[in-house]
Structure 1
Amino acid sequence: MKAHENEVMPVTQDDNLVLLDTPVKRGNTEIDQVTLRKPTSGELRGLNLSELLQLDVASLIKLIPRITSLNEFEASKLDPADLVAIGTKVIGFLLQKRTKTDASLVA
């Protein structure tokens, strides 16, 4: 879509991006945002889906390195509020589009 001369294009935010309240340190670098990707069934191997849906901390810490650039140590150092924000995105990945629509989770 092309903007007209005086028209401002809306900025879209990546739905899979989580801005961290408390950045995670990696050496001299601070990671202040994490992009998640939808896990495949293989990446869920060894995890209990019902525990992920209940935001089980241990399960999330195992999954986060599989679907983000964070490693398991960094995932274990996440601020609880950031862990919940990431977990909420994970729950969205586990629900069918129809289920999200029925529950009014999709705009």
Structure 2
Amino acid sequence: MTVTITHKEVTLDQPIARGKESVTKVTLRKPKAGELRGLSLSDLLNLDVNAISTLLPRISTPMITKDEVLTMDPADLVQIGGEISNFLVPKKLQMDSQSESDSQASLSA
């Protein structure tokens, strides 16, 4: 049985300043097809900054603006981009990748 993940919480290494407050965690929601309009899936899978900065305001809570994405710490951008990529990969490929990782881990143990 496979569980479909539709939300993922990301803790930022460098919080995003908003006035006197700061955003330390962002919840990402798996995008629907319409939220991907105007974007190339290959750009998202390649962690293209412009693609991520367009999609992130559509799927983040609290909403991260395009300007905030462009000033984000690179490590946080990569972490968020990786989670977005995970949403786009079919379950079958995720399971195959997990099985391969488990096999490699048992061989090195």
Q: Name the TM-score, length of structure 2 as normaliser.
A: 0.80
Shift in Å, 1:62: 0.7
Aligned to 1:101: 95
Structure showing the higher helix proportion among its residues? 2
Aligned to 1:44: 36
Structure 1 window deviating more from structure 2 (25-34 vs 81-90): it is: 25-34
Is residue 30 of structure 2 the alignment partner of residue 53 of structure 1?
no
Give the structure with higher Rg (CA).
Answer: 1
Q: CA RMSD in A?
A: 1.8
Aligned to 1:83: 77
Structure showing the higher strand proportion among its residues? 2
Runs of 5+ unmatched residues, structure 2? 1-6, 103-109
Which whole-Å CA distance do the structure 1 matches of 2:14 and 2:35 have between them? 26
One-letter code aligned to 2:80: I
Structure 1 runs (4+) greater than 6 angstroms displaced? none
Runs of 5+ unmatched residues, structure 1? 1-14
Aligned pair count? 93
